[in-house]
Amino acid sequence: GACNNESRGALIVLEGLDRCGKTSQSSRLVSYLEGLGHSAELWRFPDRTTSVGQMISAYLLNQSELDDRTIHLLFSANRWEKRSMMETKLKAGTTLIVDRYSYSGVAFSSAKGVDLEWCKAPEIGLLAPDLVLYLDMPPEKASERGGYGDERYEHLEFQKKVAQCYQILCDPSWKMVDACQPIEDVQKQLQKIVLDNVLACRKGKPLSLLWS
């Protein structure tokens, strides 16, 4: 049946620097899965639609000032407020393609100098992704791509620090994809990895929790 563990959806996260192509690749992946008849949704963090998300959005737009730990905990709260819906959707068989997750939370805050273990702590107990796709692109290249907007973190020097923090966080289970390739080539590589993962989750791979 649609609600047993054997047919659950996969929790698939895309990570990478600003302007590496995560957002367009994420929506293409959802279309791809839907085209194959799978139930799939595009999610993103921060989710700016909630009241916590609106505080985060104001901060990112430089309309408010918050200290580094306060904004870190708001980003984390923004994931916690979506956790039960996430679990419900996955158990109902929907695959979630998530544009940024806890790794962005830890990489961006630790790039400011906040202790890495402190950054991880509020993330403990969130659902662990079944798959992390890292869209790998040098910060210099990403910064040239259509330019950055005006948001708080969209500066080359900061993005270089974020890249180093992602390096510390990444583990051997992450799939690194060279995001400097043509967009169609990146998409083809992502599609294969994602489909394999969706099928593995349908076969009964259990859900697990961060950080394990």
Residues of this chain that bind ligand FDM (CB under 6 A) = 18, 45-46, 60, 75, 100, 104-105, 108, 153
If the CB atoms of residues 82 and 100 are measured against ligand FDM, the closer one turns out to be 100
Least distance from ligand FDM to the Cβ atom of residue 37, Å: 29
Tokens of 138: 């040098």
If the CB atoms of residues 32 and 45 are measured against ligand FDM, the closer one turns out to be 45
Determine contact, residues 172/134, Cβ cutoff 8 Å: no
CA-nearest of 166, 153, 191 to 26 is 191
Least distance from ligand FDM to the Cβ atom of residue 142, Å: 12
CA distance 185 to 65: 40
Least distance from ligand FDM to the Cβ atom of residue 4, Å: 31
Least distance from ligand FDM to the Cβ atom of residue 44, Å: 6
If the CB atoms of residues 32 and 75 are measured against ligand FDM, the closer one turns out to be 75
Determine contact, residues 27/143, Cβ cutoff 8 Å: no
CA distance 31 to 40: 8
If the CB atoms of residues 102 and 197 are measured against ligand FDM, the closer one turns out to be 102
CA distance 87 to 64: 32
The single residue listed with the structure tokens 């994809």 is: 177
If the CB atoms of residues 35 and 117 are measured against ligand FDM, the closer one turns out to be 117
Least distance from ligand FDM to the Cβ atom of residue 58, Å: 12
CA distance 160 to 28: 27
